[in-house]
Chains A and B, each alone.
Chain A
C-alpha cells in the first residue's frame, strides 16, 4: 500500500509564473490537507479538501487554490508566483471521520520543494 505521494519532488519557477502541485492520498483516505513550510519554520496550513470541496482554509491569498478529484487526489495551484512562495509544500491525508468527529491522524507525503527565482 503506497502512502501519500506527491509530484514533482522539486520545481523551479520564475516570478509571475503559475505552478500546479499534485498529491495522491493514502489508500482509503478521503481528506487532503496542504501545508506550506518555509525554510526553518514549521508548516502553515493552506487548506483542506473533503468530498471535492474546500472545507477549511488558512491565511493564504486567493493566488493559492486547489482541487480534489473524485479519486480523492488533489492539486494545489499557485498563481503569480512570488519569491516568498519558495517553500516545501506538504500534503497530508486522513481517514474519513466518524460522523461529526473527524479522524485526526494525518499521514504526510514527502513534499514538493518549490523554488521561485
Chain B
C-alpha cells in the first residue's frame, strides 16, 4: 500500500463546478504539499500546510492531522485549471527535504 493515496485518479468537470481532490496518507508528517503539474512537466507548489486550512484565490486546502487526510478544493473551476494535481508529504523525523508523492489526479475542466 502506498504511503500517499489520492482520489479520484481522473476528474472531469464543467466550467464553474466546485472540485474536490482528496489525499490520504499512512505516516506521520511534518508538512503536506499540494502541487500542480501542467503538460510539459513543470511543477508549481500551490500550498504547503501542516494544520488547518489555507486559501489562495479560488483554491482552498485543508488538512486533518488526526485523520491523516487532506483535501484540495477549487471553486468556480475554469479550463485553465486543467492539470495534474499532486499531493506530497514530508514524513516526520529527520527526513529533511524528501518528499513522498501521490500518483496525482488528472483534472480536465471543459468550457
Contact = CB atoms under 8 A, between A and B. Distances in A.
Contacts of A58: 98
Contacts, number: 73
Contact of B45 (A37, A56, A102, A107): A107
A24 B40 CA distance: 19
Contacts of A97: 96
A64 interface: no
Interface string B4-47: 10000000000000000000000000110101000011111100
Interface in B54-73: none
Nearest to B43: A108
Nearest to B9: A40
Interface of A: 31, 33, 35, 37, 41-45, 48, 50, 55-56, 58, 88, 90, 92, 94, 97, 102, 104-111, 113
